[in-house]
Amino acid sequence: MFSRKMTSHLGALTLGAAVLIAGALQPAAAQNETRSLCVYDPIGANGFIYQSFQDYVVQARSWGIKLNTRAYTDEAVAANDYTAGKCDMVAITGIRAIHMVKFAGSLDMAGGLQTYDQEKTAIKVMSSPKAAQYMEQDGNEVVGVVPLGKAFLFARDKNNLESLDTIAGKKIAVMSYDKQASTLANVAGASPVGASIASFGPMFNNGSVDLAYAPSFAYNALELYKGLGNDGGIADFVLGMLSGQIVAHKDRFPDGFGQKSRSWVFDSMYDSTIRRVKNADNEIPDKYWVHISGDRDANYREMFRNTRQKLWDQNWYNHRMQHLLKKIRCSSDSGLAECSQDSEGGAVN
C-alpha cells in the first residue's frame, strides 16, 4: 500500500510539474497583448478597406495580439497619430507609406504597373522572406500589403482626355505630399493644385479643378460622379496601382511577427480584397470610360517613363523596387519600347 501511495504521490507531483512547466513555456500568443491598429478608410468603419481588415484582427489573436481598431477618414491624421506613437500599427496607402518604408511605398509609383496580375506578382515578391530586409526602415516595418485598385484620371469634360495636348494648362488636383503626382502634372503641362484626401473630391465636384486622379472606389465613396455629371469621362489608362499597407512599429511586436503577418495577408487577404476592388471597377457606368489606345497609349506610356526617370534621378523611389516593376511590366509585354532602354536601372531584355 505504501508503495502504491508513494507511486500515486510521485505521479501527482510529476503531473503538477509538467503543468507548471507547460504553462511557463506557453508562447506569448496565449497572453493576448493589446495593440492598436489605425485604419484609413475614406468612408470610415463602414468602408470596404476597414471591413477588409476584420479577418486580420481575428487572425492576430492566434498570434497573441489583440488588436483594437480605429477608423480614420483622414489619412494624414492616421499617419500622424502613428508617427506620434498613438497607433502601434497603421493601414494607409503606399503613396503615404513611401515616407516610412521607401521600398514598400514605391509599389504605388506612377505607371509602375498596369494590371492586377502584375500587382499580384509584385506583392507576392514583397511578401516573401527574401524581401524581408527591404520591408523595414527606421524602426518601421510593413507587415502586410493588399491591393486597393487602379488609379484613373477623372475629367469634368471628357474632351480633355483626347490627347496630352488637351490636358496642358488644365488644373489637376494632386495630393500635397505626393511628389510623383506633381512631377507628372508638370511633365504633362498641367497645373497641379495641392489637395488632401478630404478636399480633392469637393474640389473636383465644384469645378475648382478640371482633373483628378483616383481609384474606382472613389467614384461612390467620394461622390465623384457629381463632378463627372453628363460631360465627364475617365481615361482607362492606368495611372498607377494603389495599395494598402500595414505599417508597424517593429519594436512593439514579437520577433518574426512581420514575416508571419506578410505571408498571411498575401495568402488570406489578397483574393477577397481584389474581389472588392474589381467590384468597384464594375460600378462605374460604361458611358464614362474613355478608351486610350494606339498612339495615345504610346504617348501616355512615354510620359510616364519620363516622369519615373526624373524621379529615379531625384531618388524619390526605391531603385530596387523601381527596377523590379520594370521587369514585371516587361515580362508581361516584352515588346514595350522601354524594355530595351537604359531607363530605370537598365534594359531588361
**What does the pLDDT read at residue 15?**
42
The model's confidence at residue 114, banded by pLDDT at 50, 70 and 90, is very high
For residue 120, CA distances in Å to 104, 130, 225, 267, 337 come to 14, 16, 29, 11, 23
**What does the pLDDT read at residue 197?**
77
Alpha helices in the chain (DSSP H): 2-24, 48-52, 54-62, 75-83, 94-97, 102-105, 116-127, 164-167, 179-188, 197-205, 218-221, 225-228, 257-282, 294-313, 319-332
Rounded to the nearest integer, the mean pLDDT of the chain is 89
DSSP per-residue codes, 65-111: EEEEEEEES-HHHHHHHHHTTS-SEEEEEHHHHTTT-HHHHGGG-TT
What's the predicted TM-score (pTM) here? 0.87
Q: What is the pLDDT of residues 219-275, one digit of tens each?
A: 998 899 999 999 999 999 999 999 999 999 999 999 999 999 999 999 999 999 999
- Alpha-carbon gap, residue 209 to 206, rounded angstroms: 8
**What does the pLDDT read at residue 300?**
87
Query: Which domains does the chain carry?
Result: 29-148+242-282 (3.40.190.170), 151-240+288-326 (3.40.190.10)
Cross-strand partners of 192: 172
Q: What is the pLDDT of residues 196-216, one digit of tens each?
A: 877 889 999 999 999 999 999
- Reported residue count of the chain is 349
Cα–Cα–Cα angle for 47, 248, 215, nearest 5°? 35
**What does the pLDDT read at residue 31?**
62
- Alpha-carbon gap, residue 58 to 93, rounded angstroms: 22
Stronger pLDDT, 82 or 295, i.e. the higher one? 82
And the C-alpha cell for 200? 480633392
The model's confidence at residue 297, banded by pLDDT at 50, 70 and 90, is confident
Torsion of CA 82, 86, 87, 93, to 10 degrees: -30
pLDDT of 23 over the 60 cut:
no
Cα–Cα–Cα angle for 76, 322, 303, nearest 5°? 85
Q: What is the pLDDT of residues 32-68, one digit of tens each?
A: 899 999 999 988 999 889 999 999 999 999 999 999 9
- Alpha-carbon gap, residue 43 to 72, rounded angstroms: 8
- Alpha-carbon gap, residue 37 to 58, rounded angstroms: 12
The model's confidence at residue 181, banded by pLDDT at 50, 70 and 90, is confident
In the chain, pLDDT over 70 holds for what percent of residues? 91
In 3D, which of 229, 199, 190, 214 has the Cα closest to residue 307? 190
Stronger pLDDT, 74 or 24, i.e. the higher one? 74
For residue 344, CA distances in Å to 64, 237, 341 come to 42, 21, 9
For 204, phi then psi, to 5°, come to -70, -45
